[in-house]
Chain A
Amino acid sequence: MSASDLLPGRRFRGLLRKEFVQIVRDPSSIAIALVMPVVLLLLIGFGISLDARKVRFGVVDENRSVESAGLYHAFANTPYFRPVSFLTAREAEAALMRGDISGFAVLRSDFSRHVIDPVRTADIAIIVNGVDANTARIVTGYAQGVVAVWLLGHRRDRAKAAAPAASVEHRYWFNPEIRSTNFIVPGLIAMVMTMIGALLTALVVAREWERGTMEAMMVTPASMTELMMGKLVAYFVLGLGGLAVSVTIGLFVFEVPFRGSFAVLVGVSSVFLIVSLAMGLLISTVARSQFVAAQLAFLITFMPALILSGLMFDIESMPGWIQAATTVFPARYFVSSLQTLFLAGTVWPVLLPNLAALLAFAVLILAVAVARTRRSLE
């Protein structure tokens, strides 16, 4: 690529205008860049909660005593549970099967006798619906907590002795209220970037091949590099637009803190966008049809950005070979940089290695993509 190729000559300006006209004419690409982030942010931000609240939880009271009523109220008094009373375990089991309740506690008929006696164990069974394993684990933890606290309190009241206990005071750095929007916004930016970069670019170039307009453009004086640069620049601008929309909504609607530097954010995002665009270009040289291009883009850019980036699942808890696999997908470095920039600040020990990795990807993939596109002409 010589320097004159990069200068915005008249021909190049014309190509660029063509790309923008195409984008404006087809509202679907603008929808992906600007509307989708808004929809997803609003849905996820207002609609999703990862912690369990007001879980419908059954209490089977076979004991019918002051103590069992006390435990029922202990459940009712936490924000986590909305207890439902059952007379027999069978009714509760049927409700669990239907999915009406997430679990239930059984207080057996000799519950109150056992509770009073501190050396004996209280007969309490907690049964949860394990079908949703994640929720089940959280519900189990909460339910055990409620029972344990109530049991301790109850026995303490009876013994009239203050009992010492250790307690955990937790402090979440960078995100003290543990708001899920705070980590979703960085993730969403990564999603939008891969969508616009890889998916849209792959589709658009594949369409030119499919329709035969690529050959038509090749007979014009415009060089292949110019053609590709025209596309890259247009979708680069669209991608930055998506970034602006996501960040604006994140900051002003969801009040996600931003503690880093905006310049670094734009810089890191630009590099990642170039990586994505190059991947889209590469995909389109392999897949000449839009169906195949869409599937490939989804598979090698979007899915890794979602699953292998540390956005949803903890990378260090994955099996070794998957951890190794995450290192060859650029999304991982981008998500980590975004999370740090938004919530922690411009922490160079985290950002520098990520940025270096992204730059290496950008150079490598762009080189391969350009080489392959050139070769596919012959």
Chain B
Amino acid sequence: MWRRIRSLILKEFLTLWKDRKSRMVLVVPPLVQLVLFASAATFDVTDVALGVWQEDRARPANELVGRFADSTAFRVAATYDNPRDVERAINAQQVKAVLHIGQTFSADLAAGRPARVQLLLDGRRSNTSLIVQSYAVGIVERFNLERRFGRAAADLQIETRAWFNPNFESRWFILPGLTALLTMVATMLITALSVARERELGTFEQLLVTPLRPMEILLGKTVPALCIGFVEANVIAAIAALAYGVPFIGNVLLFHVAVILFVLAAIGIGLVISSIAKTQQQAILGVFLLLSPATVLSGFISPIANMPEWTQALTYVNPIRYMMILSRGVFLQDIDWAIAWHQLWPMAIIAAVTLAYATWLFARKLE
């Protein structure tokens, strides 16, 4: 039996490897995506083009504008003296935000009345604008504190530290997450297509007349995908750590166990799609239909804790959710087995259920 399975595994590897294009496709896309994400995916907003509409020329107003100009987040790109120009600039996206200081700002401040400055933001890019707003609030808060308590007191008011990622580097949380995501895409596509391609090309019937049992055929499809997924996850993790300087401080063995369980879950889902789909097109589109919501619901971009209850409930059947926590945990946090266990067993269950279901679907189709 093992010899039979071995030759099937060999055949699966050869199918993926013998064609130059399909070989390229296994290697190049994950690397390109990694580079793109590592460089482009940042929530840091820097060098924001700020427009200034200053109606108050007294000292406090100048000082506030100076603080915006001196900050690393903003650069004053234009100044205006009437609302029409402001409107035109925001409409045409020449500036991201406009700081408006009204005529009474300094007088209000001196008289102890609440002094308002206006920040006009472009809601079309609300993601960016939210971050810009928080920068602006920070600058004004500091302006207040320093006026009140002097510079030294403002400095030491609150001591803040971010554990595991002291400088809030976006890359440090994107790349460990991407390790999970790219591995998922590759393994699901390989397995989902493997059975569908045989069926579409008619070689599936040939496989059936061999002495191989359904269970053995599935095993032959699982092992190559598992190897590829395992290698891919490790290569991406290594690049993230070595080329992009994301710290990897955790337990390598724990990472490997997590990757194996995760890849098995991905293979299980891929095989289920594969045994339902009649054509490769259906298999590919099935993968997309599942992967897009699964990515959204994985915590890759927006934290699961912020979602409403019902979407949080949905995330429990999503293997990426668990791997996301494990990957980031091992990379940055050095989590131990006791903490990791809560993420490991759900992936094992997902893998077991989907693999069993795929076998059953498969056996039923044969009869």
Q: Measuring CB to CB, which residues of chain A are less than 8 angstroms from any residue of chain B?
A: 26, 28-29, 31-32, 35-36, 39-40, 43-44, 46-53, 55-56, 96-99, 102, 118-119, 121-122, 124-138, 140-141, 143-145, 147-148, 151-152, 162-176, 178-180, 182-183, 191, 195, 199-200, 203-204, 207, 210-211, 287, 289-292, 294-296, 298-299, 303, 307-308, 310, 312-314, 316-319, 321-322, 336, 339-340, 343-344, 347, 349-350
Contact = CB atoms under 8 A, between A and B. Distances in A.
27 contacts: A48-B311, A130-B165, A130-B172, A132-B328, A133-B43, A145-B141, A152-B144, A163-B148, A164-B109, A165-B115, A166-B143, A168-B116, A171-B118, A175-B126, A195-B288, A204-B281, A210-B200, A289-B22, A290-B193, A291-B193, A298-B29, A307-B37, A307-B41, A313-B41, A313-B42, A319-B39, A322-B39
A265 to B, nearest CB: 15
Interface-centre pick from B33, B156, B161, B284 (highest chain A CB count, 10 A):
B284
Nearest to A138: B134
A344 B124 CA distance: 7
A177 B332 CA distance: 35
Interface in B191-230: 193, 197, 200-201
A131 B332 CA distance: 7
A173 B120 contact: yes
A127 B113 CA distance: 34
B166 A169 contact: no
A124 B156 CA distance: 9
Contact of A36 (B108, B149, B289): B289
Contacts of B123: 172-176, 178, 182, 343
A122 B157 contact: yes
A314 B296 contact: no
B189 A295 contact: yes
Given A44-B296, A127-B163, A133-B173, A318 B39 contact: yes
A134 B169 CA distance: 8
Contacts, number: 343
A325 to B, nearest CB: 8
A148 B145 contact: yes
Given A49-B307, A295-B189, A344-B124, A169 B116 contact: yes
Interface of B: 19, 21-22, 25, 28-29, 32-33, 36-37, 39-47, 49, 60, 64, 90-93, 96, 105, 108-130, 133-134, 136-138, 140-141, 143-145, 148-149, 153, 156-166, 168-170, 172-173, 185, 189, 193, 197, 200-201, 277, 279-282, 284-286, 288-289, 292-293, 296-297, 299, 301-303, 305-308, 310-311, 314, 325, 328-329, 332-333, 335, 339
